[in-house]
Amino acid sequence: MERRLERRDFIKRAALGAAGAATACGGGPDATVSMQAGSVVTGPEVSWRLVTSYPRSLDILNGSPEYVAERVAALTDGRFSIRVFPAGEIVPALQVMDAVQQGTVQAGFTADYYYVGKHPAFALSTGVPFGLDSRQHVAWHYEGGGLELVRSLFRDFGIIVFPCSLTGAQWGGWFRRPVESLSDLRGLRMRIPGIGGEIMLRLGVAVQVLAGGDIYPALERGVIDATEWVGPYDDEKLGFYSVAPNYYYPGWWEPGVTSSLQVSLNAWNELPEQYRQALASACREAAFITLARYDVQNPKALSRLIHEHGVQLHRFSDEILEAAWRESNEYLEEQAAANADFRRVYESWKAYRDEVFPFFAGNELAYASFAFPKIAG
Amino acid sequence: MERRLERRDFIKRAALGAAGAATACGGGPDATVSMQAGSVVTGPEVSWRLVTSYPRSLDILNGSPEYVAERVAALTDGRFSIRVFPAGEIVPALQVMDAVQQGTVQAGFTADYYYVGKHPAFALSTGVPFGLDSRQHVAWHYEGGGLELVRSLFRDFGIIVFPCSLTGAQWGGWFRRPVESLSDLRGLRMRIPGIGGEIMLRLGVAVQVLAGGDIYPALERGVIDATEWVGPYDDEKLGFYSVAPNYYYPGWWEPGVTSSLQVSLNAWNELPEQYRQALASACREAAFITLARYDVQNPKALSRLIHEHGVQLHRFSDEILEAAWRESNEYLEEQAAANADFRRVYESWKAYRDEVFPFFAGNELAYASFAFPKIAG
């Protein structure tokens, strides 16, 4: 409701904007009145184009840059405007960072780990297997030095990043038949990209990488046996449940995915300071609100999946989780040994993980494990 | 680090401010240059006083309104300034809401549940025993209709509230001797205010209410046997560990305390729209950042308490947790039966709790309970 009010206020203010701008520098007693009713920002009109890696149908995820645009407009009396283009409208989903680097657009909303080919340590900006949950990732980014380290890597690419979307723990994906043991995983054809795919490969999975729109047909035709995506609200839309109704958790390879606004440093440097502050605020707000939207919509979607679509929930077995834990940690250590930049970011990240996990294993976990199961699903 | 940069930028900008303001409406080519380098906001100078319920020593909690003030200044080119006064400097800790209602100050940072004497449903704005955790509380407030309901109650008091601080799950407190069973609780003299105290009373505890500064002397002199406060980082400063070294978790009566900025509606209505937007953004950012600060500092503090101060950690027994769960739910139902406003807010809150708890009991809890204990504390 608050968001709707803000949007309405913004439309009202935009209508007043022209009048306000005309009189703001006009002097005389009426000028002050106009300024209070209308615009108090007199900076230059700035218009940006922002491309995203996601289709419009992922409305919470793609809603993050839309929300950033709304907040920036509200904080600058509409003088700094950002137009959002979903995946494919200007550039393909996985070329967002290139478009920002090349100056095709001023900003992009994407996951930094899509670009590990440019730098392996970008993975740590988004999240890695058995990594920090969303709340812990925010703490490391903002108060544990993580964002500063990540930004030092992006500077060489002419980009400054702002975390602006949290999904919570993603889910373990959809399997045609139950997988109980490591031997069930061996040879299984699963769509899973990124580092999660790397770990699954080490567990014997025949890893496939397919774009979102190609997954369902591949499942239906029997080309793959399993796939992962995001979580109940997003997964429901792609209909995997009708072919692969065994839904696994936890999504140990993506326990707290953080997506970023990647901004061209050239464009950033041209902004008035107040517009920069507005953009920084808007991104922090968007991270906060995106997670809230998932946390309201995911429970409803999961309930529909179970009660209307006959989905079976399964927890991954300890055998699978233990093997994945070992392989994931080994993988990260290997990356750190191979790349000094990776090691520098990883050491900060790992130091925080090793402090915060045992802390959360106490109070927070004791509360969660007593209270949450008290209400039957 | 980002925060320090922002503060430095703000000082630099404040120094430029006078020059910027002088030329912003002067016309000619230089005016545009000055506007870009300096101030782009030409609204009225607004100065607010903000009182808090906390001493300066609680630097994360009291840091929330300080952060709000910094962000509001950054977002308005310093034209909207807020000066923060800790508890006792203008009004006593628990008279913050009165000071806002009476117009003594424009805003106050406090916990809405301190004022259940004015309206019992204010408790649900802050958090109740066995309630939502911090992440869930944000979701209910912003995307589940909770904040709208809470604001409808505060409107009658001439106030609009903005959630702006999250603590995570608070801790169960400090006990001179271990308490294992309900019989150990009976007759125990414990400092615990609010609804937590109400539930402890029902469990047979001799409940005491003492202000922060009076707790340690009462413990030391043997006037009380136990006390609760916030969590490791804040509790360490008060030194309870030296007298009552048994530290219990989880803090089931405060699993996700949310503090508020209470703003006088008269003052709010006088603000230019852009300043209102700045304040709303700043509060969402402050909630986000406060939790990150706790999540970085609490693990370090807990480690000091254990390794340097010999503190013994204990999980409350199932016997105590089960009895507290029953009493807490009964208490909330009684409140709902007795007050129609309480019922209206409670029904929204409970509907969300009953959806989100089983959801978190799946994926999120499965990840947490496998991964967090993997690292030894």
> Are B265 and B344 contained in the same domain?
no
> Are B147 and B190 contained in the same domain?
no
- 3-class SS of residue B176: coil
> Are A196 and A221 contained in the same domain?
yes
- Tell me whether residues B299 and A130 touch, CB distance under 8 A: no
- At A268, list the tokens: 């950033």
B293 within 8 A of B66, measured Cβ to Cβ:
no
Q: Are strands B226-227 and B189-191 parallel, antiparallel or unpaired?
A: parallel
Name the residue among A27, A293, A368 with its Cβ closest to that of B368. Answer: A368
Name the residue among A138, A273, A376 with its Cβ closest to that of B288. Answer: A138
Q: Which long-range contacts (CB under 8 A, 24 or more apart) does A317-322 make?
A: A317/A180, A317/A181, A318/B370, A319/A180, A319/A181, A319/A182, A320/A179, A320/A181, A320/A182, A320/A185, A320/A203, A321/A252, A321/B370
Say yes or no to pLDDT of A36 above 50: no
Angle at CA A117, nearest 5°, toward A113 and A121?
A: 50
- Tell me whether residues A284 and B284 touch, CB distance under 8 A: yes
- Give pTM, 2 decimals: 0.90
Question: How confident is the model at residue B209, as a pLDDT?
Answer: 86
What does pLDDT average to over chain B?
91
Question: How confident is the model at residue A347, as a pLDDT?
Answer: 98
Give CA–CA dist B64/B236, Å, rounded.
Answer: 20
Q: What share of chain B is helix, strand, coil (3-state, %, to 5)?
A: 55, 15, 30
- What is the number of residues in chain A? 377
Tally the C-alpha atoms within 13 A of residue A369's C-alpha that lie toward its C-beta: 19
Chain A residue with Cα closest to B37: A272
Name the residue among A42, A71, A366 with its Cβ closest to that of B40. Answer: A42
Angle at CA B178, nearest 5°, toward B175 and B183?
A: 105
What does pLDDT average to over chain A?
91
Name the residue among A24, A142, A231 with its Cβ closest to that of B2. Answer: A142
CATH of the domain at A270: 3.40.190.170
Question: How confident is the model at residue B8, as a pLDDT?
Answer: 39
Q: Which of B249, B297, B320, B359 to mutate to test the interface with A (most CBs of A within 10 A)?
A: B359
Q: Which of A295, A319, A327, A365 to mutate to test the interface with B (most CBs of B within 10 A)?
A: A295
Question: How confident is the model at residue B27, as a pLDDT?
Answer: 31
Which range marks the domain in which residue B180 is found? Answer: 173-255+298-376
Give CA–CA dist B244/B21, Å, rounded.
Answer: 58
- Tell me whether residues A168 and B364 touch, CB distance under 8 A: yes
> Which chain A residues are within 8 Å of B141, Cβ to Cβ?
292
Question: How confident is the model at residue A75, as a pLDDT?
Answer: 98
> Which chain B residues are within 8 Å of A355, Cβ to Cβ?
299-300, 303
> Are B43 and B75 contained in the same domain?
yes
Residues of chain A with pLDDT > 70: what percent? Answer: 90
> Are A179 and A285 contained in the same domain?
no
CATH of the domain at A241: 3.40.190.10
Lowest mean pLDDT among A302-311, B25-34, B103-112: B25-34
> Are A344 and A288 contained in the same domain?
no
Last residue of one domain, picked from the residues A269, A296, A323:
A296
Say yes or no to pLDDT of A7 above 50: no
Q: Which of A252, A277, A304, A313 to mutate to test the interface with B (most CBs of B within 10 A)?
A: A277
Residue B102: CB atoms within 10 A of its CB come to 12
- At A344, list the tokens: 């520098």
- Tell me whether residues A369 and B369 touch, CB distance under 8 A: yes
> Which chain B residues are within 8 Å of A145, Cβ to Cβ?
1
Say yes or no to pLDDT of B97 above 90: yes
> Are B336 and B289 contained in the same domain?
no
Chain A residue with Cα closest to B67: A281
> Which amino acid is located at A248 in the chain?
Y
> Are A318 and A328 contained in the same domain?
yes
Say yes or no to pLDDT of A30 above 70: no
> Which amino acid is located at A345 in the chain?
V
Last residue of one domain, picked from the residues A247, A271, A296:
A296
Over residues A109-121, mean pLDDT: 95
For the CA atoms of A330, A333, A334, A337, the dihedral, rounded to the nearest 10 degrees, stands at -160
Q: Which of B4, B141, B143 to mutate to test the interface with A (most CBs of A within 10 A)?
A: B143
> Which chain B residues are within 8 Å of A282, Cβ to Cβ?
281
Say yes or no to pLDDT of B183 above 70: yes
Give CA–CA dist B330/A83, Å, rounded.
Answer: 51
Give CA–CA dist A112/B35, Å, rounded.
Answer: 34
Last residue of one domain, picked from the residues B296, B327, B353:
B296
> Are A49 and A186 contained in the same domain?
no
Give just the sign of the alpha carbon dihedral B78, B81, B87, B93. Answer: negative
> Which amino acid is located at A180 in the chain?
E
Number of domains in chain A: 2
Q: B29: pLDDT confidence band, cut at 50, 70 and 90?
A: very low
What DSSP string describes B75-144?
A: HTTTSEEEEEE-TTSSS-GGGHHHHHHTTSSSEEEE-GGGGTTT-TTHHHHH--TT---HHHHHHHHHHS
A-B contacts at Cβ under 8 angstroms? 319
Residue A1: CB atoms within 10 A of its CB come to 12
> Are B73 and B148 contained in the same domain?
yes
Say yes or no to pLDDT of B317 above 50: yes
Over residues A50-56, mean pLDDT: 95
> Are A328 and A209 contained in the same domain?
yes
> Which chain A residues are within 8 Å of B1, Cβ to Cβ?
145, 147-148
> Are A204 and A330 contained in the same domain?
yes
Say yes or no to pLDDT of B57 above 50: yes
